[in-house]
Structure 1
């Protein structure tokens, strides 16, 4: 499975490895995060199978399957002291990775407005029921700035976006976008965790995020003002400052040289 993964690798050969995991919008939504870390660290940016026209194996139907594939990748590359940064669906994958990491390969995780758990009274917005205007209004602080009129998008690009949404629906389990078994398992995750949330996110609210952070054994919750579901796009300076601070505080294990 890992040989079939589509990976963009950047940054120096030495240093603390960073794995950047995208959400439903595809790798372009987190490209700025990968670029930021690649200035000083070896950085891996996968395209999840099924996104951007990549093949999705029949057996890969759950977020846990995808997390297992990325954990195998870390093992096969003999990577340790790994910082994992995930946005939205990618945050869910990062949480699953940390929960499944029995070898201690991961030394820190950042989850940015993730989905994946169930919080009573804070339902996840049915993303699939939203039209493009609704996506902009619920996902962004400045909806006018990020709204894209589908009439202005080339047909080829629209086909890619439809394929991405189909892959998201399969991997996330549809509108629910959660696994009822995840939250109890997060209590066993002891690696340092940063839970970042856009103050204006209405796909998953900051109240949902606060409960997400409380699910981990060792997490800090930070809210980014004037940002929505993708705070690194609306407030890059504020977001990267928090990411850099967390990266500096965590890690430090010797990387396996094999």
Structure 2
């Protein structure tokens, strides 16, 4: 009888297992030391994005530079270009010394060409979508470079890119931009400005909550959209219960090393 009043988990058992497996895949292949010691939970505020801008191109350039910096990819030869300048390109091979990300990351051989990245001009009035889109693009570049498929294989690459963007610290904005409400009359709503999400809202929130479990973060709920806050709390509860019952040595070791 009491079971009737128990709330359902945010994600089902199969989704939970894939998300946790994908998080562990990210820890294994995308610089766990940087994640534990330097990754921040990036928030949509002036502390993280203090720049004033004078044009669409200026905004895109400054936001992109911030996202690259927070992702720890300063050493990566990525270059922002306008949409009209983006052409098909061959991904170059990189070799890094010491680590993939952070100040110690150094290219062993200079890249023979840059990786060009562009932006959606419609997202200028939806900066969280712009940030999340850039984060997803950088995640895709990281996956391409490492060359190790995520759990589930090639068909799960889009979902893995969203998950990895959360791992890079951008889970708040990834969660906030899965779906944009049209509003009462649709006034000002621009569907072309929305990023193309591969994970659902619950899945994205779960991955973000999994990341924040290992980080010092007291402000996530404040910056999530109101309808997501209770789901985030549910994800935290589900993750805590899972880790408490887990026998996964890597997950438990990571839990012991967490900051905060």
TM-score by length of structure 2 reads 0.29
Higher relative contact order (CA 8 A, sep 6+): 2
Structure with more helix by fraction:
2
Instruction: Compute the TM-score of the two structures, normalised by the length of structure 1.
Output: 0.29
Structure number with the higher strand fraction is 1
**Which structure has the larger Rg?**
2
